[in-house]
């Protein structure tokens, strides 16, 4: 076993050596600009881009020309939401999204609110799923866009995308899906799911960082979005800027590998996830699974360990890369807004860990991680007066704490 162990594959993934191999020539020998129409360097680059578009289209079940390359899912989400809002603002000014979305969606929506749009932030149930009734009820004659993610980056729950697609279609509302954590891990079919705009990112699927794509439906309906970046009119005018050819080649290859290996890989991930979960649950009491038990990515496990701070746990597990529900994007130790939206109390939200399994994890690593988590939780609980009191049967809620 090699240390440190990386089990934080929702944050990013290593580049698959097979992906790296196909990228390398495009840094040096085949360095052309795909917009150069008058020499072979340009043609070669264009050919590589076309191939990648085809590979992505195959994974999503769309046409190659419906793929717009971006710098990643943050940009794809911004482009989809702000681009659609600008294009359709005369039709209406209302957007629907969900409180557990990624910040790239929530903050784009907030920006639009400042520009006069109205946004409904739907709540989720305690399992992390949005209710279809709530989606339906939120739609008004002013609604132009619904933006709901496929799989959540913290708790891995998978939203009922195809059902939401049906609702959106019935009401004639565009449907954007941030599928960054879903693509390549679970089957995605933009036709069957009724998705009009879909965001993805290469670095979550063993491709390079800084490259992603937005699927923009061309037919039934033909979706139009205003660009965020103006310039040479690349990507059918929706995203100007010289294309990142090595990145695009890497994204295409990463998609093709996922398409070929997804079924087998998902089964392996599921086995590892279940093993990790049952080992931990057998070894410890007062452990709570966050998010729906079955409707979740096979790669994800998110658990709260009562009476233990997630951050202290991570401190005791330095040779393992995991995330805690209070880590966060900022230096502040706010508990995860996703867990809070599920109704998880602040204490349990602070005591959560996210395990993100990936292609390069092994069964041996799973066993090691489970063993070390159990040891560390037991050790921390031995030092916790609260845990001791709870074990003695004292109802902690009834305790009157002295004020200082
Ligand atoms: N959406 C989701 C659900 C994500 O998990 C992430 C990455 N954390 C993003 C969007 C942003 O992707 P990128 O890093 O490619 O900008």
Over 60: is that where the pLDDT of 330 sits?
Answer: no
Pocket test for ligand 1, best of 74, 76, 199, 208 (most atoms within 8 A of CB): 74
CA 148 to chain centre: 11
Structurally, how many domains does the chain consist of?
2
Average pLDDT over residues 26-43: 97
Question: Which domain-ending residue is among 258, 277, 303?
Answer: 258
Pairing type for strands 174-178 and 143-147 reads parallel
Other beta carbons less than 10 A from residue 236's beta carbon: 12
Contacts of 21 (CB under 8 A, 6+ apart): none
Pocket test for ligand 1, best of 9, 70, 72 (most atoms within 8 A of CB): 72
Within a domain: residue 152? yes
Q: Cα(162) to centroid of ligand 1, in Å?
A: 21
- CATH at residue 380: 3.90.1150.10
Rounded CA-CA distance 198/176 in Å is 6
Name the residue at shortest CA distance from atom 12 of ligand 1.
Answer: 73
* Closest ligand 1 atom, residue 209 Cα: 15
Q: What is the pLDDT of residue 221?
A: 97
Does residue 337 sit in the same domain as residue 278? yes
Two tokens, residue 402: 């002295």
**Per-position b or e across 37-54, b if 16+ CB within 10 A of its CB:** eeeeeeebbbebbebbbe
Q: What is the mean pLDDT of residues 239-252?
A: 98
Active site residue 177: no
Q: Please give the number of the atom of ligand 1 that sits closest to the Cα of 210.
A: 15
Residues 376, 378: Cα–Cα separation, whole Å:
5
316 shares a domain with 195: no
* 210 touches 189 (CB < 8 A): no
Position 291 confidence tier, pLDDT thresholds 50, 70, 90: very high
pLDDT category at 328 given cuts 50, 70, 90 is very low
- For residue 11, give the ligand 1 atom closest to its CA: 8
pLDDT digits (tens, 9 = 90+) for 162-221: 999 999 999 999 999 999 999 999 999 999 999 999 999 999 999 999 999 999 999 999
**Residues 342 and 226 occupy one common structural domain:** no
Q: Which of 9, 181, 336, 337 to mutate to test the pocket of ligand 1 (most atoms within 8 A of CB)?
A: 181
Any domain includes 58:
yes
Cβ contacts of 127 within 8 Å, gap of 6 or more: 157, 291, 292, 293, 295, 342
Atom of ligand 1 at shortest distance to CA of 74? 16
CA atoms within 13 A on the CB side of 128: 27
Q: What is the mean pLDDT of residues 286-302?
A: 98
Burial tier of 286 (Cβ tally within 10 Å: 0-12, 13-18, 19+): middle
Q: What is the pLDDT confidence band of residue 327, given thresholds at 50, 70 and 90? A: low
Q: Is the pLDDT of residue 3 over 90?
A: yes
Residue 402 lies in a domain: no
Among candidate residues 205, 233, 258, the one where a domain is terminated: 258
Residues 52 and 164 in one domain: yes
> Could you tell me the residue range of the domain that residue 206 belongs to?
17-258
**Mean per-residue pLDDT, 217-237:** 97
CA–CA separation, 200 and 249 (whole Å): 15
Cα of 387 vs centre of ligand 1, distance in Å, is: 36
- Please report whether residue 196 resides in a domain: yes
**Which distant-in-sequence residues (6+ apart) come within 8 Å of 201 by Cβ?**
72, 73, 76, 180, 211, 212
Residue 373 counted as domain residue: yes
CA 253 to ligand 1 center in whole angstroms: 19
Which residue(s) pair with 6 in the sheet? Answer: 321
Residues 382 and 300 placed together within one structural domain of the fold: yes
- In ligand 1, which atom is closest to the CA atom of 75? 16
Residue 154 belongs to some domain of the structure: yes
Residue 403 — pLDDT band, cuts 50, 70, 90? Answer: low
**Does residue 334 have a pLDDT over 90?**
no
- Same domain for 253 and 275, yes or no, is no
Q: Are residues 202 and 273 in the same domain?
A: no
User: 249 and 203 share a domain?
Assistant: yes
- Note the pLDDT of residue 326: 65
Last residue of a domain, one of 258, 292, 322: 258
103 plus 50 within the same structural domain: yes
- Write out residues with Cβ below 6 Å of ligand 1: 72-74, 77, 102, 104, 149, 153, 178, 180-181, 201, 212
Do 126 and 236 share a structural domain? yes
310 and 361 share one domain? yes
Q: Can you tell me the mean pLDDT for 371-375?
A: 98
Averaged confidence pLDDT in the chain: 96
Inter-residue contact 122 to 130 (CB < 8 Å): yes
Measured in Å, residue 74 CA sits from the centre of ligand 1 at 6
Backbone angles phi, psi at 354, to 5 degrees: -110, 125
On whether residue 193 sits in a domain, the answer given is yes
**pLDDT cut 70: percent of the chain above it:** 98
CATH of the domain at 33: 3.40.640.10
Phi-psi region of 343 (alpha: psi -120 to 50; beta: other; left: phi over 0): left
Supply 98's token pair.
Answer: 């969900």
Instruction: Please tell me which residue, 327 or 1, carries the higher pLDDT value.
Output: 1
CA of 150 to the centre of ligand 1 (A): 12
- The pLDDT of residue 332 is 64
Q: Are residues 180 and 80 in the same domain?
A: yes
Domain presence at residue 309: yes
The string of pLDDT tens digits covering residues 92-148 is 999 999 999 999 999 999 999 999 999 999 999 999 999 999 999 999 999 999 999
């Amino acid at each position: 076993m090699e240390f440190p162990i990386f089990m934080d594959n929702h944050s990013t993934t290593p580049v698959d050596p097979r992906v790296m191999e196909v990228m390398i020539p495009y840094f040096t020998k085949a360095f052309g600009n795909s917009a150069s129409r008058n020499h072979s360097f340009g043609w070669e680059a264009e050919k590589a881009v076309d191939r990648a578009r085809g590979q992505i289209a195959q994974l999503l079940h769309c046409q190659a020309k419906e793929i717009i390359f971006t710098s990643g899912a943050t940009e794809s989400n911004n482009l989809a939401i702000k681009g659609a809002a600008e294009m359709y603002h005369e039709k209406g000014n209302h957007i629907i999204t969900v409180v557990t979305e990624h910040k790239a969606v929530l903050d784009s929506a907030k920006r639009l609110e400042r520009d006069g749009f109205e946004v409904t932030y739907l709540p989720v149930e305690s399992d992390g799923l949005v209710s279809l009734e709530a989606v339906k009820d939120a739609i008004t004659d002013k609604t132009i866009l619904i933006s709901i993610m496929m799989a959540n980056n913290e708790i891995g729950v998978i939203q009922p995308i195809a059902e939401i697609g049906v609702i959106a279609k019935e009401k004639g509302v565009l449907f954007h899906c941030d599928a960054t954590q879903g693509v390549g891990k679970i089957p995605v079919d933009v036709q069957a799911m009724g998705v009009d705009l879909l965001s993805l990112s290469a670095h979550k699927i063993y491709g390079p960082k800084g490259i992603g794509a937005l699927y923009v439906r061309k037919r039934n309906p033909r979706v139009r979005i205003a660009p965020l970046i103006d310039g040479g009119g690349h990507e059918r005018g929706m995203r100007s800027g010289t294309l990142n050819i090595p990145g695009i080649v890497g994204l295409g290859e990463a998609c093709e590998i996922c398409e070929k290996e997804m079924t087998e890989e998902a089964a392996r991930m599921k086995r590892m996830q279940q093993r990790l979960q049952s080992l931990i649950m057998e070894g410890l009491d007062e452990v709570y699974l966050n998010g729906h038990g079955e409707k979740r990515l096979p790669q994800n496990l998110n658990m709260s360990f009562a009476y233990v701070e997630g951050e202290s746990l991570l401190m005791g597990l330095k040779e393992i890369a995991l995330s805690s529900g209070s880590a966060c994007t900022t230096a502040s130790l706010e508990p995860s807004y996703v867990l809070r939206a599920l109704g998880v109390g602040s204490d349990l939200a602070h005591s959560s860990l996210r395990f993100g399994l990936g292609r390069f994890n092994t069964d041996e690593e799973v066993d090691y991680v489970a063993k070390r988590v159990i040891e560390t939780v037991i050790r921390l609980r031995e030092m916790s007066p609260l845990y001791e009191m709870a074990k003695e049967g004292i109802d902690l809620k009834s305790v009157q704490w002295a004020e200082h």
